[in-house]
Amino acid sequence: MREREIRERERMRGERGIMDGRGEIGMGMVGIERERERGMSLSERDVRMGGPGERDRGERELRERERERERERERERERGGDNRMVLDQRERGGDPRDPNPRDPKRLKTENRIKDHFSPGHTPKLPPPPSAGSSSSAVGLQMHPGVGGPAQGGGAPSGHPGAGPGQAQGGPGGPAYPGIDNSLGLIPGSSGAGAVVGGGAGAGAGSLSFPDDLDIHNVPPDMKKEGSDWFAVFNPNPKVKRVLDVTLVHTLMHESVVCCVRFSADGKYLATGCNRTAQIYDTKTGLKTCVLIDDAAGKSGDLYIRSVCFSPDGKFLATGAEDKQIRIWDIAKKRIRNVFDGHQQEIYSLDFSHDGRLIVSGSGDKTARIWDMHDGSSKVLTINDPDSLNNDAGVTSVAISPDGRWVAAGSLDTVVRIWDVATGVLVERLRGHRDSVYSVAFTPDGKGLVSGSLDKTLKYWDVSALGKPLSRKDGGASPGSARKDEKPAPGAVVPTTPGGAAGASSSSSASAPSSSAGGAGSSACTMNFTGHKDYVLSVAVSHDGQWVVSGSKDRGVQFWDAHNAVVQCMLQGHKNSVISIDLSPAGNWLATGSGDWQARIWSYSTIA
């Protein structure tokens, strides 16, 4: 009995020992946890222990998600301003892709569909004849990377000179990585060499660059690099490098830069964007003036689509989406005049060299010549029988240096020229296969350059304008209207300053038509092929040496104005180059882009 009690007490003592051991182990774990907590941040310990920090956890996560979205927006903006609105609308659950934009030349949608601003429907034209002009076209082209109209050069698909894309590599392989050498345009290669001849076959002589061009593999004497830009010069041994280009200023904006324009003395640059026109000192890059119409209201967008200095530099004309032309007194930052009359957005403005007249182009199928003294205007209407069923909105206007002619590019692919004095339509220039977005006269007034959504530029010889031409039927020569001639309805309508219609002064129905083959008094003498995408803006240098073009392919190209040979391809913008201008005084180039930047470049001729 006693032995049983002793064994029972020993058993109980052993269990207590085990429990004591477990307790020590348990206390040890608590100690370890306490040590861990000492190493935690306050917020982590609060979350772990269920303290006040846990209640703020959702707010912290929300702030972090917002910061991440902001970082993503910044990355998208760096890759191209076009993606920003897409990203914002996706976050709101909306669909940013609108297949039927209201305005076929609405550059605001630069932010909507990649780099595409929806040019609208253009007529389906038959392929042009195989006979082209007699100019040389040695082009530089950024390769699209996929099958498309301009892979082999600048020619559209179905064109005799195009094909599904030029062969890559060539018999000996590319001399430099990433560059198409199949045409033998690189020194030491075994290709076929450049093809001379513009028009249909011009694309066959073009040099193609892929999208993934590695600038580090381009020979040093064929390139120039900056921190965020580069220029590649034509490597054809027959093309001597005579040009140097460098970036001078980058001007940041808060929206798409729709237009850029130098003053006559080259000292100032005006830009147009959403609601404001801004003026910069070209030497310092500093903003000197901001012009905004407070009476226009604050809701919605109001993009300024065109800006133009008066020749004396005292006034700036702006054309906007609200259909008004505003003439600003720059020194007072006040509106001097407002010209009303257009029925749709105003896309282009140009002053005459004496400053008395200003011409405007609008999506309402008209150009208007305004008198700066009394505000009256002549209405130049596009009412051709073959344009009645097409969108013929005027996208670009230019006054010739002598003030005699107004040229206008249109969405219906035709370039038209009117007599300023009479308002008579004297010439239709046909040859482009898509909308014409830009026109510019040469300094001597004998040439006209046009840029089109067909990815090409054309040079038109207009030196015969105004000269009598013999006609077999004994009729009047093109552009010489008779006094007893009755106008076609709506052709040219002089108006009062308020926009009321007056008596019609002349007809636009009898103008001759010229084509790339040269059927009229003016003819296309050179084709410029090389851009991989829409040509949106063109300009001619003050000395007539260079033609410069800006494109939806984000590039700028310098062309020799005498033979259509490209000298260099300039890349720097992260979105479409919407507008370019060359200074009338000095070697300055300005570019405006969908990446919310305007840039000022300098160029010079080298020995």
415 in any annotated domain: yes
353 in any annotated domain: yes
Q: Mean pLDDT across the stretch 31-38?
A: 50
217 in any annotated domain: no
* Backbone Cα Rg of the chain: 33
Distances (CA, A) of 544 to 111, 140, 267, 548, 559: 35, 21, 20, 11, 11
What is the per-residue pLDDT across 549-597, written as a single tens digit (0 to 9) for each? 999 999 999 999 999 999 999 999 999 999 999 999 999 999 999 999 9
Contact indicator for 570, 556 with CB cutoff of 8 Å: yes
What does the alpha-carbon distance between residue 546 and residue 513 come to, in Å, rounded to a whole number? 27
Contact indicator for 288, 308 with CB cutoff of 8 Å: no
567 in any annotated domain: yes
597 in any annotated domain: yes
Contact indicator for 231, 222 with CB cutoff of 8 Å: no
Q: What is the pLDDT at residue 4?
A: 72
Q: By CB neighbour count within 10 A (0-12 exposed, 13-18 middle, 19+ buried), where does 88 fall?
A: middle
Mean pLDDT of all residues belonging to the chain? 73
What is the per-residue pLDDT across 396-408, written as a single tens digit (0 to 9) for each? 999 999 999 999 9
State the total domains in the chain. Answer: 1
Q: What is the pLDDT at residue 18?
A: 46
213 in any annotated domain: no
Share of the chain above pLDDT 90, in %: 50
**Phi and psi, residue 556, nearest 5°:** -125, 135
310 in any annotated domain: yes
What is the per-residue pLDDT across 352-396, written as a single tens digit (0 to 9) for each? 999 999 999 999 999 999 999 999 999 999 987 766 557 899 999
What is the residue type of 165?
A: G
Q: Is the pLDDT of residue 183 over 80?
A: no
Contact indicator for 459, 524 with CB cutoff of 8 Å: yes
Domain range enclosing 456: 225-605
16 in any annotated domain: no
> What CATH number corresponds to the domain at position 481?
2.130.10.10
Q: What is the pLDDT at residue 13?
A: 66
